Amino acid sequence: MQILSKEEVERKKDILFGKIKDGAVFIYPTDTIYGIGCSALDEKAVQKVRRIKQRPDKPFSIIAPSKNWISDNCDAKKAGNWLKRLPGPYTLILKLKNKNAVAKSVNQGIGTIGVRIPDHWISSFVQELGVPIITPSANVSGREVMTTVDDLDAQLRAHTDFLFDEGERKGSPSKIIDLTGKKEVVLR
């Protein structure tokens, strides 16, 4: 596994974009904690993350490339006030109106999707990449979340192509707001 600083990511981003589009799995910082991701369009890569995290069933959220992507691919009618808060530490659960916007295993075919745009440079990276990435926490399900490279689980390290190291992350997982029902529900 290659460990890259923010500066190295910036210098090598075109190479990294190609690797991600070819199925690479990587760990990256956000405005909250470290996430593990891949292209949300790549079924094989998403399945690999499911195996690594030992999370076969629960849907994954994504970092969307832009608010326009969210509006184009999700039913965002009820999300207006929340979309104004993006970028930020929020995951919005929305109905997915374009079933081809992500690989089926991202949301397990349930018809909804969690979308984020973190208040962090990773959002600009994803915007330039031009495709959404999955954004579960960088840990094996049920174990502590990763806050530094030293916390990286050996299983994740063994199956990850690269890591964007930004030092210690002291945040909490994002606030999750379900906007798919008649009333908005704060899940976390």
Per-residue pLDDT of the chain (188 residues; tens, 9 = 90+): 999 999 999 999 999 999 999 999 999 999 888 999 999 999 999 999 999 999 988 999 999 999 999 999 999 988 888 999 999 999 999 999 998 999 999 998 899 999 999 999 999 999 999 999 999 999 988 888 888 888 888 888 899 999 999 998 887 778 899 999 888 788 87
Assign residue 76 the CATH number of its domain.
Answer: 3.90.870.10
The Cα–Cα gap between 115 and 68 comes to 12
What pLDDT score does 169 carry?
87
* Distance separating alpha carbons of residues 18 and 113, to the nearest angstrom: 25
Residue 176: CB partners within 8 Å, gap ≥ 6?
90, 91, 93, 114, 186, 187, 188
Nearest to 131 by CA among 54, 64, 176: 64
- Which residue blocks in the chain are alpha helix, DSSP H? 6-21, 43-53, 67-73, 80-84, 104-107, 121-129, 154-158
Closest C-alpha among 46, 72, 44 to residue 59: 46
pLDDT reported for residue 171: 77
**Entry field: residues in the chain:** 188
- The predicted pLDDT at position 155 comes to 85
**Is residue 53 within 8 Å of 136, Cβ to Cβ?**
yes
Structure tokens of 75?
A: 């039913």
Sign of the C-alpha dihedral computed for residues 172, 154, 162 and 128 taken in this order: negative
In this prediction, residue 46 carries a pLDDT of 97
> Residue 70: its pLDDT value, please?
96
Q: Which is it for the CA torsion 122, 30, 159, 102, positive or negative?
A: negative
**Residue range of the domain that includes 44:** 2-186
Q: Give the pairing type, strands 74-75 and 2-4.
A: unpaired
Single pTM value for the model: 0.93
Give the total number of structural domains in the chain: 1
